[in-house]
Amino acid sequence: MKLIKKYFLNDFAGAWIFFTIFPKLPLIYPRFKNITQYAPLLGILIGYVQCLIFTGLTNNSWPIFASAAICIVSGFFITGGLHIDGLMDTFDGLYAGKDKFIKAMKDSRVGAFGVQAIIYITLIQLASLIKIQDNIFNVLPICLFWGRVSTLIYIDKFKYFNYKRKSFSHQKYWRGLKKESRISIFILILLGSYNLIFVESYFILFKKLLLLIIGMFFAWRIPILLGHKTGGVNGDTCGASVVLTETIMLFIYAIAL
């Protein structure tokens, strides 16, 4: 039990505090050295919380549009706007050009491209949730999982750059993708096993497994593309990778279902 608390619970508690606005877990002392590995697991948990909010509202006669909007906003709230802020800063930097990239990201004011990015992303997520509706429990947590898996790829493949005086670098305690992705791989095995055990039909099984493979593809490609565009990785670009990956997957699931 002491080993579980030392090597799992303490680091998970650190991720719990760092990536969400949830209060400190009782009787557990958080550590912040190796917290990135728990981000995909937290994505699933956050996804289920959002699903409960969505279904709770729809079951109480809220219109589907309003329920989907509150569901999206709840995600922004739970994460403290961490990822969406990174998305806006990253897009401001990208469209400012290479020479002004860092300067645009440092600017505390949100630029026109940052505002456009959050509007487009929010509308795509809203439309996708309205389309998904009853399948939200099978879709949203997985999309949030892939979004956070993308950060593991990003941190592993690119060098860290910083423009803030006080910034937490996940690369400082990075142990390599093989070790940092163990929890994510375990979750994938569980998802694959669940689909194999509870087979509704071979066509549905094929579709679900194909969607998992597509999720793996975008969780890899989005951070690679961003890394080449930005020239490196930091907290803001990781946030952009999370939001872009989960939004693309949400849209793909909406089309497939």
Q: What is the 3 state secondary structure string of 39-50?
A: HHHHHHHHHHHH
User: Which residue would you say has higher pLDDT here, 12 or 184?
Assistant: 184
The pLDDT mean for the chain works out to: 86
pLDDT of residue 164: 58
If DSSP codes are grouped into helix, strand and coil, which group holds residue 66? helix
d(CA 7, CA 163): 31
Cα Rg of the chain (Å, integer): 18
HSE-up of 103 (CA within 13 Å, CB side)?
A: 5
Q: How confident is the model at residue 50 (pLDDT cuts 50, 70, 90)?
A: very high
For helices 182-197 and 202-230, angle between their N-to-C axes, nearest 10 degrees: 160
Alpha carbons 251 and 143: distance in angstroms, whole number: 10
Q: What is the predicted pLDDT for the residue at 165?
A: 54
pLDDT band at 101 (very low <50, low <70, confident <90, very high): confident
Percent of the chain with pLDDT over 70: 93
* pLDDT of 218 over the 70 cut: yes
**pLDDT digit string, tens, across residues 140-180:** 999 999 999 999 999 999 988 875 555 556 667 788 888 88
Two structure tokens written together for 144: 């949030």
Give me the pLDDT at residue 53, please.
96
pLDDT at 66 over 90: yes
Q: Which residues contact 10 (CB under 8 A, 6 or more apart)?
A: 28, 29, 30, 31
pLDDT of residue 74: 95
Q: What pLDDT does 24 receive?
A: 81
Helix (H, G, I), strand (E, B) or coil at 34: coil
The reported pTM is: 0.90
Q: State the pLDDT at residue 15.
A: 82
